[in-house]
Structure 1
Amino acid sequence: MIAKATSPASSRSGFVDVYKTPALCSYRLQFNPVDKMPKYKQIVQSVITDIERGILRKNDQLPSISELSVEYYLARDTVEKAYRELRERGYITSVQGKGYYVQASNASKLKILLIFNKLSSHKKNIYYAFLNALGDRATVDLQIHHYNARTFEEIIEKNLGKYNYYVVMPHFTQGVEQVDYMQVLKQIPDDQLVLLDKDIPELPNRLSVFQNFDKDIFGALEGARDLLAKYQRLTLIFPGDANYPVEIARGFRSFCLVYDIPFSIKENATDEVLDPGTAYVVLEETDLAELIKKVRQSSYLLGRDIGLVSFNETTLKELLGITVITTDFETMGRTAATLLLDNQKIKVKNPFTMIRRMSL
């Protein structure tokens, strides 16, 4: 339970008594009894986090040691140790005969941990758009899990309870059991977890700004049927060892089956023998460069005999006149930051478009 301090009232002696005892309202401690973090540390971090987020304000009354002990089945020594540390660090104060009160004002900046699957030019666009939208209202730390569920688990274990929000790109190596990372994600409180780039339906009550990979690529190809009509077959270059979402291949295959277009899916373009009337959808820039080189060494004309569609926009592709299907990375970062600041727990599909150029 937590009591809000009323506005200062004058006592009979003429002094102002800030710590009156008004009506109580509920206060939920962010506490997990099976967490590896010591219980007293969880109490300390929960109170600090709520002060920083403005949930607890200066002069708010905290639950008594007895109340916390009973409600969360904690030893009194555990709660006393937590309150002692909070008092020593200047976050709370005690008033004899009345209880414990918040002393520190809420912090001016949120603390956010951003956890990417990898670094790339596209991820940098998201990162800087995210920072710009937050402005001076937050500080952001960045860590990379490299598609490794164990690395992700270690990052969360070291940082759980230290940040107001955890913004996660939940892309992991293909074949990893979902439970490996789902259990880690579920350790993060619902109101602190933000999913970026990929949604997880099993976690419904989270803020999420995501791509719908299979529907996105299906829709982009469907919208370019007029350009694709000059080609007799489609080929997707989908590296098997690059951790791309399998939904991309699924959406490509679905489009070809629905519109009865002959297709193939290959892991790289190195051994590809160009066949006129083929349009390629390429994910890796190395494969894109390989196909451009093969076209230039042949008598075929790009955009007439051979078609090229690349995944995700870059300045170089724009200069080379390469058609791209791409998500709007800046919008993704900006949207996530704006919704986070507004404390909205909604799911938003990020814009995905095709940019038509001469290569198709």
Structure 2
Amino acid sequence: FNSSFLLPSTNDRVPTVYLDGHRVLNLDTKDSLFVGSKKYVTSKKHITQYPDGRTNPEAMTYYMGVHGHNNSVTNGIGRIGYMAGGKSALWNDETMTDVFVEKTKAYIKKNKEKPFFLYYAAQDIHVPRTPHPRFHGTTSLGYRGDAMVQFDWAVGEIMNALEENGIAENTIVIFSSDNGPVYNDGYKDGTTVELSSEELDRGHDGSGIYRGGKYQIYEGGTRVPFIVSWPGKIKPGVSDALVNQIDLMGSLADYLNVPLNDNEGIDSRNTMGTFLGTSKSGLPYMIEEAGKGKALRRGNWKYIPDLKRGYGSPKMNKQLYNLAVDPGEQNNVIDEYPEMAKSMAEELDKILNGESIRLNR
């Protein structure tokens, strides 16, 4: 990237400061920033020290942290990891979306006369969910639901900025997510379900008809929203084609006539026609992943091998689903189709031990 304005990590981790390019925004050099073990950061003298949520849980005044989100406490929120110093540079959790939206608008306005690539990585609705007070109460789901509304607002503001600058018609916008939904993922923010252990949180099923959520190999954890907009080129519609985010690199490179070396985008295939809606053909197969677990999609069939217990996911025995008739993965048909399971198990093993999907080797 030619420029960046970002968080050093996810918003539940230290350090809780913005990076503008390679500099910490608003850092006072007399209160230098340190990140590391508790022993390391507490050894730093004459700089700001933050409460440890494990020994001083009362410092977590915004809401309580769980699942290890209880180390350094900043803005009343426990984080993963320890930091010291940098008090003047601390972000305000509740205004974070506003900050990112304004930075995005400014970039669009500045670069509207030339081609650009902009990546907006929203912190919503990742934990800690801290929507601006103006969004509080907009849903019946508390912080989680209100953060969704805030994110929806942010997307609308960015789309409006493209319109206002006269470039909406010829701008490709790709909207997606990194995993399926999750409920309590580190904070007691009003959610009633641990991780994705149940489908419903206060009557709301984040994954809809699909089973499971974040950390799980089921469709609820691996299937994500995916919208491509290009008003000047793409006709509105819905596609059932099998596509994967990993193929954006190979697809856009081919579309822009940028050759990839053999060691670049090794598993990224060209599906640009599908992304643009000119083709209904999706991928013949693809890998699904949750933690260390892998599964194989081949058309409407999905094969899950034996998987060890992982964070947020139970131990699993081999499973086979026909998603054409069972999108919710409720009926394991592995005993009815042993040859299909065997064939897909062999293909999965071949892919995982191969060098490159794109180069077919």
**Structure 1 length-normalised TM:** 0.22
Higher fraction of strand: 1
Structure with the bigger RCO (C-alpha within 8 Å, sep 6+) is 1
Which of structures 1 and 2 has the bigger CA Rg? Answer: 1
